[in-house]
Structure 1
Amino acid sequence: MSRTSPHHRQDEPTQVSRRGLLKTAGGLTAALALGAGATSAATTADAAPATFTHPGMLHNAGDINRAKVRVAAGTDPWLSGWNKLTANSHSQSTWTPRATATIIRGGTGENYGLLYNDIAAAYQNALRWRVGGTEANARCAANILNAWATTLTSVTGNADRFLAAGIYGWQFANAAELMRDYDDFDLAAFQSMMEDVFYPLNNSFLTQHNDACITNYWANWDLCNMASILAIGILNEDSAKYDQAVTYFKSGAGNGSIAHAVPYLYTDDDGYALGQWQESGRDQGHTVMGMGQMGAICEMAWNQGDDLYSYDSRRFMKAAQYVAKYNLGGDVPFTTYTWGSGQNCAQQSQTAISASSRGQVRPVWAMLHFHYNRRLYLDDKYISQMYYDLVAPEGGGGDYGSTSGGYDQLGFGTLMYAK
């Protein structure tokens, strides 16, 4: 095995940014024509689009139309993905919201299950309306979003409040993005709630890290808050927030920025590029969660014209291949990972990859497979095996257990990303 240093970039020709291609070469077809070599060279100053695309978070208009056409025609794998959606209890139009003024995650009085269950219901009903055209599902989604927009005033608890603000912030915004043009959805009220309740916590975490050592928190803590800021930026057409998230992805001080989230690069014996994930010595449930959190950031940015998927010579793809290979049962290299913890940066180290929760199934792989393999025509051997052998067709919240880990990603990638 060969290993490169934490910040080494493998030799690869520099290409213009995805947005530059879209503007100058006539659209996505031109971007795909460049294929595997395309990387992002966008600068911080021009990260935010001049005009935001809607819908433009996890799903764009093309994704929605493709799913609609394929499901109507009864074509697999879209139909299998659709059947996973319609069988889920959260996607039923009879769902009743349980909005509350204060959400608590961590410490006494935890009630955050109310929020993640309602978000899953809002998102799934919104998908059923967008793909199936059923008005009852649209009304249900709008009712859930409106109830929370006019009720929720704070997210609190111990340090875990930052996880709640991050994960549920980007997920909530995605449900709202699907519903933004629905007449009975109060978009303005929802935008204000995201700005007033979620963003302050997201911003506080990325800038202050709960007054802890900059390396104390795992990558997912940064990633979910980055994703929330990015999603709020898109939902509210706020260029400053969009730029904040993209800039942090590229050069942030914490463990969620790309070079810190993927500190070591390798090439395996079969010639595949791999990247050690920052949480690999912790457990595999959280490494797979990281694929979903960073994947959400990359997909949302992609739909606004920024190719973070390919940033830094496709560093994220190398991490996804590494995580997939190990969770499929394969051997991967591991370099001792050392970091500073607590408020005084006390040194800790992990000397071996963790086998805890190895092989855990989460609905994060369709997004990555269909991007790298079907959009860019790259050989994503381990990602594709993870998706087809263990996951497909993907479900969503409610299909992977009742605890919060089963709701860390919105899912239904087979329905929405298959190409």
Structure 2
Amino acid sequence: MTRQISRRSMLKAAGVAAGAAGIGTAALPGPAVAAGPGYAHPGLLHTGADLDRMAAKVRAGAAPYTAGFAKLTANRHAQSGWTANPQATVIRGGAGQNYGILYRDIHAAYQNALRAHVSGDSAHLDTAVAILNAWSAKLTALAGNADRFLAAGLYGYQFANAAELVRDHPDFELGRFQEMLTGVFAPLSDDFLVRHNGAVISNYWTNWDLTAMCCVLATGIFCDDKAQVARAVDYFKHGDGLGSLKNAIPVVHDEGLAEWLEAGRDQGHALLGVGLMGTFCEMAWNQGIDLYGYDDSRFLKGAQYVAKWALGGEVPFTANTRKKGAINGWSGSETVTRAAPVDPAMTRPIWAMIANHYTRRRGLPASYVTRIAAKSAPEGGGGDYGPNSGGYDQLGFGTLAFTRDKAQGAASAPASAGAGAGGAGSDPRPQTGATSSPSASASSAADGDLAATGSNEIIGWTAATGITALAGGLLLLRRRDRARSESQAQSQ
């Protein structure tokens, strides 16, 4: 069922459409939104305009893009000689765990695909396609204890993002990959958001919900499933679990700070959660759904809180009690009275995306987020933050991928997705009249399992001299429209 993408559709997905006008501000250029029955592609963490911006900036030798690209090319997963090791069943949690094989292959596919789009080297695109095709031909099940839900969520959304970068390659088995996402990954994530593994609704911390939410949203967009996207967006706004916006960020304080629930747990999981919520918001934004600004930019306030706390600052904390246990089974509770200790040296590649959205796209102040993004730059990716699962929980490379020129004026939302999510983007809160945030100083990653509980794991670019046409003509078409695309991309 592989679907051929027309040249017109490809160029349309790579373009940038005018965004909705903010109250009393200039219109914000936003990503293109597909006019047809599906979604704009590429349109998960990166749009066509984003990819063009990265390539143009690196080719021009612009900082900090070159430093970000150097982090990518130095990563062992980003090499065209990577060979996939697909498994029929992937196990996370319990006996026979082998999920490290999966996440390393996913990051190799993503990094090679991203490198290909920036450099124009078709060998990397071919490597990404080979990895993804090998897995969709063999993988049939995810197994293990409760941690299998983490595997579904984390690796489902990451798989979709890697595949989104090669979906128009003529050798990529698009239909088969969609079947794998909808048959192996998304059902577990959907089920977790409904049943929470048979536990009371607050038994699982925020990041468990957020992994599932990211998988459901990414799969819905990748497979052009409007109902699935609508479910994910509705859960972000109104879900009962701890991953919905108001449960993850339950208390709003003065001075633009709002408590992140998992700050009472530990630093690693709080960073994971902020990264996942940012990922969710970015994927939605690229389809015209503004969740970054939802509920008076509540996510910004939560990210500011975590950034200040992670930098070693004092933050307020409201004591809370979380019920635990199984439905009709054992029960208990846990009370948290203060924010957990932090190690200011701990970092994850999550901040560039968030800082650039709020300060560059929207022109809002985000001083703590900006400071921690600067401290964490240039951001790397999987394999740069420790050898175990926690170092692979984010796709990373935000310095390369999300650094943006400042938009002229501020606005509230991208172009509406319309039918794309059943009106899911119709409730943004416009932010106006803001100034850019200050920057601060120029890391080491701390170990720790950033997803599962009860685990013993610790969780010279050379400038292209010409334009290479990649297989299937995807990059050739994009480069033919370079002048138009670069102009649009830099306006973001």
Common fold by TM > 0.5? yes
Alignment match of 2:362 (pick from 376, 381, 392): 376
Distance across 2 between alignment mates of 1:94 and 1:35: 49
Q: Does 1:408 align with 2:393?
A: yes
Partner of 1:132: 119
Q: How does 1:187-198 map to 2 (within 5 A)?
A: 187-198=174-185
Whether the aligned pair in 1 keeps the contact of 2:210 and 2:276 (CA below 8 Å) is yes
Q: Deviations over 1:219-250 (max 9, x none)?
A: 11000101000000011001111111001000
Q: What does 1:28-47 correspond to in 2, within 5 Å?
A: 28=18, 30-31=20-21
Give the partner amino acid of 1:176.
Answer: A
The equivalent residue for 1:66 is: 53
Instruction: State how far apart, in whole Å, the 2-side matches of 1:61 and 1:32 are.
Output: 24
Contact 1:284 1:358 in 2 (8 A): no
> Alpha carbons of 1:34 and 1:287: their partners in 2 closer, same or farther (altered >3 Å)?
farther
How far the C-alpha of 1:347 sits from its partner, in A, is 2.3
How many Å separate the matches in 2 of 1:143 and 1:256?
A: 34
CA distance in structure 2 between the aligned counterparts of 1:33 and 1:146, rounded to whole angstroms = 46
Is the aligned partner of 1:297 residue 2:297?
no
Question: Partners of 1:179 and 1:293 in 2: how far apart?
Answer: 23
More helix by share: 1
Q: CA deviation at 1:105?
A: 0.6
1:157 aligns with 2:152: no
- Find 1:321's aligned residue among 289, 292, 304: 304
> Which amino acid in 1 is paired with 2:369?
I
Q: Is the contact between residue 220 and residue 229 of structure 2 (CA under 8 Å) also seen in structure 1? A: yes
SS at match of 1:90: helix
Question: Is 1:36–1:376's contact at 8 Å kept on the other side of the alignment?
Answer: no
- State the alpha-carbon separation in 2 of the partners of residues 230 and 292 from structure 1: 15
Deviation string 1:297-318 (CA, Å, 9 cap, x unpaired) is: 0000000000000111111000
Aligned-partner Cα distance in 2 for 1:356–1:111: 31
**Structure 1 unaligned blocks of 5 or more:** 1-25, 39-47
Q: 1:4 corresponds to which residue?
A: none
1:32 offset after TM fit, Å? 6.3
Confirm whether residue 398 of structure 1 aligns to residue 383 of structure 2: yes
Q: Residues 339 and 37 (structure 1 numbering): CA distance in 2 closer, same or farther, change over 3 Å?
A: farther
Q: Please state if 1:178 is matched with 2:161.
A: no
Match of 1:351 in 2: 337
Report percent identity of matched pairs. Answer: 53
Residues in 2 aligned to 1:36 and 1:326: alpha-carbon distance in whole angstroms: 34
Correspondence list, 1:9-408, <5 A? 27-28=17-18, 30-31=20-21, 51-267=38-254, 272-343=255-326, 344-357=330-343, 359-389=345-375, 391-408=376-393
Paired residues in the alignment total 380
- Give, in angstroms, the shift of residue 37 of structure 1: 12
SS in structure 2 of the partner of residue 264 of structure 1: coil
Q: Which amino acid aligns with 1:354?
A: A
The SS at the match of 1:67 is helix
Residue type at the aligned position of 1:289:
L
Deviation at 1:177, TM superposition (A): 0.5
SS at match of 1:360: coil
**CA RMSD after TM alignment:** 1.8
Q: AA paired with 2:388?
A: T
Q: CA deviation at 1:36?
A: 11
After superposition, the C-alpha distances for 1:370-407 in whole angstroms (9 at most, x for unaligned) are 00000000110000000102x11111001111011100
CA contact (8 A) 1:146 1:186 kept: yes
Aligned amino acid, residue 226 of structure 2 = S
Q: SS of the counterpart of 2:334? A: strand
Q: Determine the C-alpha separation between the residues in 1 that align with 2:246 and 2:36.
A: 24
- Structure 2: segments with no counterpart, 5+ residues: 1-15, 29-34, 405-492
Using the alignment, how far apart are the partners of 1:128 and 1:357 within structure 2?
32
Which amino acid is 2:355 matched to? H
Post-superposition CA distance 1:261-295 (Å, at most 9, x none): 0011111xxxx311111111110011011111001
* Equivalent residue letter for 1:88: N
Instruction: Identify the range of structure 1 (72-81 vs 348-357) with the bigger mean alpha-carbon deviation.
Output: 348-357
> 1:168: Cα distance to partner?
0.5
CA contact (8 A) 1:162 1:201 kept: yes
Confirm or deny: 8 A CA contact 2:78 2:112 kept in the other structure.
yes
Q: Deviations over 1:170-214 (max 9, x none)?
A: 000000001100111111110000010001101110000000010
